[in-house]
Amino acid sequence: MKAIQVQKTGGPEVLTLVDLPVPKPKANEAVVKIAAIGVNFIDVYFREGRYPAALPFVDGQEAAGTVTEVGSEVKTVKPGDRVAYTGVIGAYAEYAAVPADRLLHVPDKITDEQASAAMLQGMTAHYLVNSTYPLKKGETVLIHAAAGGVGLLLVQMARNIGARSIGTVGTEEKAKLAREAGADEVILYAQKDFEVETKRLTENKGVHVVYDGVGKSTFEKGLNVLRPRGYMVLFGGASGAVPPFDPIALSQKGSLFLTRPSLVHYIATRQELEQRSSDVFNMIIAGKLKLRIGHVYKLEEVQQAHRDLEGRKTTGKILLAP
Position 307 pLDDT exceeds 90: yes
- E strands, the chain, are 2-6, 15-19, 29-39, 57-58, 62-70, 82-86, 95-99, 104-105, 140-143, 164-169, 185-188, 207-212, 226-234, 257-259, 293-298, 317-321
Position 237 pLDDT exceeds 90: no
Residue 314 is predicted with a pLDDT of 86
Question: Over the stretch 117-151, which tens digit does the pLDDT of each residue have?
Answer: 999 999 999 999 999 999 999 999 999 999 999 99
pTM of the model: 0.93
Question: Over the stretch 189-226, which tens digit does the pLDDT of each residue have?
Answer: 989 999 999 999 999 999 999 999 999 999 999 999 99
Q: What percent of the chain has pLDDT over 90?
A: 94
pLDDT greater at residue 245 or residue 168: 168
Mean pLDDT, the chain, integer:
96
Question: Over the stretch 7-29, which tens digit does the pLDDT of each residue have?
Answer: 999 999 999 999 999 999 999 99
Residue 313 is predicted with a pLDDT of 87
Q: Which of 134, 75, 132 is nearest to 267 (CA)?
A: 132
265-278 mean pLDDT: 97
- Contact yes or no for 229/255 (Cβ under 8 A): yes
* pLDDT band for position 169 (cuts 50, 70, 90): very high
Residue 241 is predicted with a pLDDT of 87
- φ/ψ of residue 306, rounded to 5: -65, -40
Residue 157 is predicted with a pLDDT of 98
49-53 mean pLDDT: 92
Residue 187 is predicted with a pLDDT of 98
Delineate the domains of the chain, giving CATH numbers in brackets: 2-119+268-321 (3.90.180.10), 137-260 (3.40.50.720)
Position 316 pLDDT exceeds 90: no
283-311 mean pLDDT: 96
Residue 53: which residues within 8 A CB-CB, separation 6 or more?
6, 46, 89
Cα distance between residue 71 and residue 31, in whole Å: 8
